[in-house]
Amino acid sequence: METSMIFSKLVSFVLILQLLNPIVVLSSSSSLSSSNGLTEIPKKFLDFAKRKEVVDWMVGIRRKIHENPELGYEEFETSKLIRLELDKLGIPYKYPVSVTGIVGFVGTGEPPFVAIRADMDALAIQETVDWEHKSKNPGKMHACGHDAHVSMVLGAAKILKQHLQELKGTVVLVFQPAEEGGGGAKKMLDAGVLDNIDAIFGLHVLHSAPIGTVASKPGPLLAGSGLFDAVISGKGGHAAIPQHSIDPILAASNVVVSLQHLVSREADPLDSQVVTVAKFQGGGAFNVIPDSVTIGGTFRAFSKASLIQLKKRIEEVIKGQAAVQRCSATVDFSNTKKPMLLFPPTVNDKDLHEHFLKVAGDMLGNDKVKDMKPVMGSEDFAFYQEAFPGYFFFIGMQDENSPKLSSVHTPNFTINEDILPYGAALHASLATTYLLEAESKLRPTGGNLHDEL
Ligand SMILES: [Zn+2]
Ligand SMILES: [Zn+2]
């Protein structure tokens, strides 16, 4: 997740309302459970994932990755470790995809194709947690839990490999680089190796929710985002003789105020949006009017249309408001750290939401599957969801008997490693039952539909 995400403040859970159409659920689950054991799979997979040897293996992988955190598009050792484990499991894969990415395949090799995704990158943070497996790379840390995400998808791969006979299609394992602002998901798509995916699932650890619970929602879950940098140029001079200068400090100040009108006066109050100016740099002396001021910030919205509208108006307001004060302005919506112009909102497919409710409910109990309010943070998983149906959810980590865990993107962030089997089993169950459901939808009507694949 991105830096600006503050889980503890923004995330709140309410008991889920049973929105499922009971008739549809009952009819589908009864026919499938009798023929495929669909409802037993999640619990069976969780039991397997909780075996001591499986847990120890996942914990070992997670700790190794944690000790050697690598930033976006530099995940070479992490990628190597994943490939070694895939080799040991006898799982074929494509590599390299988008520098360090890996795409593995478990199952029949035939359609349908359902993907599960892990992000591999760390953050430029100095770890302050003193423990045996502390980051050995100064200034770098797995402070967003992507080490756990990798371990969970590898855990899922192990479960799937052990239950190959239950796979009615192919599970695609997606290990992507550079989630933290690098748009690794977009690059994986651009590489053309995910063209036939029917659905994709992704998860994120959540420090503030109890272990054994999961949370998500249908439709928009996380905001789309963009960033801007602007240079407002005037004419420098002596601060005591302003009539001989064109003051960019005053112009930029008015720009900041005017930008606040975009959300408060132009956006639909029911369509949540954010425009924040987080950077304001100009001047270096109390008695000198500078030549220029640089400002920068982020904007967020839950639809692409709103994002595009904000982007257009941010540019117009900065240039127009600067001109009012006789300044000129340039506006840039990309930078080297974040080459993509706009990150789309994370929008969960409604059918996959129902699938998630059922699978997670079967594994954890329906009361452990929580509804979640949308959050203004963003995730590059959204790029996959633009290409095919996708579903993103959060998995709780807090043990009620332990001290409160720290938020992601903080130097004292820790993972409760007890969640690893949950994440692995959820990935494996969501994928396996998705394939079984897809098969059962085709099978009963006469057998000719297989030709459509
Ligand atoms: Zn993050
Ligand atoms: Zn993250």
Output the CA 146–ligand 2 centroid distance in Å: 6
CB crowding 327-360: b at 16 or more within 10 Å, else e: bebebebeeeebebebbbbbbbbeebbbbbbbbb
Output the CA 122–ligand 2 centroid distance in Å: 9
180 annotated among ligand-binding-site residues: yes
Mean of per-residue pLDDT scores for the chain: 90
> What is 224-332's CATH topology?
Alpha-Beta Plaits (3.30.70)
Q: Which two tokens stand for residue 137?
A: 């790379």
Q: What is the pTM of this model?
A: 0.86
Output the CA 180–ligand 2 centroid distance in Å: 7
Give me the residue label for tokens 């290409």. Answer: 387
Q: What is the pLDDT of residue 341?
A: 76
Beta carbons of 385 and 215 less than 8 angstroms apart: no
Tell me: the pLDDT tens digits for 147-181? 999 999 999 999 999 999 999 999 999 999 999 98
Give the domain ranges of the chain.
7-222+345-452, 224-332
Output the CA 338–ligand 1 centroid distance in Å: 14
Output the CA 45–ligand 1 centroid distance in Å: 28
Output the CA 222–ligand 1 centroid distance in Å: 13
Output the CA 2–ligand 1 centroid distance in Å: 5
Tell me: the pLDDT tens digits for 23-43? 333 333 334 444 457 899 999
Residue 38 CA to residue 434 CA, distance in Å, equals 10
Ligand nearest to the CA of 205: 2
Residue 340: is its pLDDT beyond 80? no
Q: Nearest to residue 429, comparing CAs of 37, 140, 119, 68?
A: 37
Residue 337: is its pLDDT beyond 90? no
Output the CA 284–ligand 1 centroid distance in Å: 34
Question: May I ask the CATH architecture of the domain 7-222+345-452?
Answer: 3-Layer(aba) Sandwich (3.40)
Tell me: the pLDDT tens digits for 101-129? 999 999 999 999 999 999 999 999 999 99
* Identical topology for domains 7-222+345-452 and 224-332: no
Ligand nearest to the CA of 202: 2
Q: Is 21 left (phi over 0), alpha (psi -120 to 50) or beta?
A: beta
Tell me the pLDDT band of 334, cut-offs 50, 70 and 90: confident
Q: Which two tokens stand for residue 198?
A: 């029917």
Q: What percent of the chain has pLDDT over 70?
A: 88
Cα-Cα-Cα-Cα dihedral of 70, 72, 77, 80, to 10°? Answer: 150
Ligand nearest to the CA of 408: 1
Tell me: the pLDDT tens digits for 341-392? 789 999 999 999 999 999 999 999 999 999 999 999 999 999 999 999 999 9
327 annotated among ligand-binding-site residues: no
Q: At what angle do helices 76-89 and 52-67 cross, to 10 degrees?
A: 160
Output the CA 158–ligand 1 centroid distance in Å: 26
Residue 435: is its pLDDT beyond 50? yes
